[in-house]
Structure 1
């Protein structure tokens, strides 16, 4: 039976020949593993989703059917006396395709310098018709939230939302208090109401 011959290892210590063969085989296996390692192909799939269309909406605020209202006679009065009032109903509409939020302000001029605008009291309600008769027509309902009480500032300060193609009626009343000063006789003031819409509903 042939004997296994040892080969000298480093330092003069014999090392069995079988051990060298095992180590050589392991070395070849490691080399083979390293040689076969690489980038593997991966299967992929995708699903396209199409057909979505985005169209911008529009807001279009109108008052009494127009984009501008001039010569608004319903709020005009020629001979108001202390305790008298004048009222008119305005129709606010969203003629657009997107919801809007609207507010309103008022301005008044006193060309004669007598200050009638500051003396007038304002009331804004959701009434759909005025009450009473000249020279004391009124808005009988409760004032809207955020409504102003004087000229020269917010008429409707809290935004009110209107859906597309819907309307809202508001009643505006101007009153000359019974305590109005005698110096206001013959005074005149020009009043402008401005309605503003926004697409921001917050």
Structure 2
């Protein structure tokens, strides 16, 4: 084999190798072009606004945070006597609420009449009878207390915005009250607490 033919063969082999490499380069370039040709689009959403609601517990349609209840008053009680009054509990806010209520008594004479008086809470819209034996019709609501000195509404009650309900509160001096309670006096303060945390 002549040197010229061998050189030509070597050049031919070298040329084929270059062509193969170029061919791969074209394929790789073509593949890169096709995978990057994606169209995209984007849409934004606006106009959303948010505001906080308000929680507002109102008693007897009085927006004040301190409400009087003169109907639940009785002087000169004797064993077996009772006094009763109705509280309208309303949610005038914009969010649901859950409320409970407690009672605190004071006994300025030290005879602890407040610790003896019993309480009954029903859903009656009006009292029955008159002093000194006014009462609340119906059975006691579930989750309410039985003694004036303590929890009045123990299980939270839920009211939707704009909803209301009646609580009829009856306070009774038990027939078992002894002579030591004659002439005694007590005062009770009911506190209603509302929360947006529902049970």
TM-score, length basis structure 2: 0.85
Cα offset for 1:199? 1.4
Secondary structure (helix, strand or coil) at the match of 1:191 reads strand
The match for 2:51 is 55
CA RMSD of aligned residues (A): 2.6
1:124 aligns with 2:121: yes
The match for 1:26 is 20
Unpaired runs of 5+ in structure 2? none
Aligned equivalent of 1:112, options 109, 114, 120: 109
TM-score, length basis structure 1: 0.84
Residues 148 and 171 in structure 2, CA contact (< 8 A), matched pair in contact too: no
Highest Rg: 1 or 2?
1
Aligned equivalent of 2:36, options 34, 40, 46: 40
Change (3 A) 1:114 1:62: same
Cα offset for 1:106? 0.6
Secondary structure (helix, strand or coil) at the match of 1:118 reads coil
Alignment of 1:1-202 (within 5 A): 5-6=5-6, 19-33=13-27, 37=32, 40=36, 42-66=38-62, 67=64, 68-70=66-68, 72-202=69-199
Once the two structures are overlaid, the 10-residue window that deviates more, 51-60 or 116-125, is 51-60
Unpaired runs of 5+ in structure 1? 8-14
Residues 5 and 17 in structure 1, CA contact (< 8 A), matched pair in contact too: no
Residues 139 and 172 in structure 1, CA contact (< 8 A), matched pair in contact too: yes
Cα offset for 1:34? 5.3
Cα offset for 1:192? 0.4
Secondary structure (helix, strand or coil) at the match of 1:30 reads helix
In structure 1, how many angstroms separate the alpha carbons of the residues matched to 2:94 and 2:127?
31
Residues 74 and 131 in structure 2, CA contact (< 8 A), matched pair in contact too: no
Secondary structure (helix, strand or coil) at the match of 2:194 reads strand
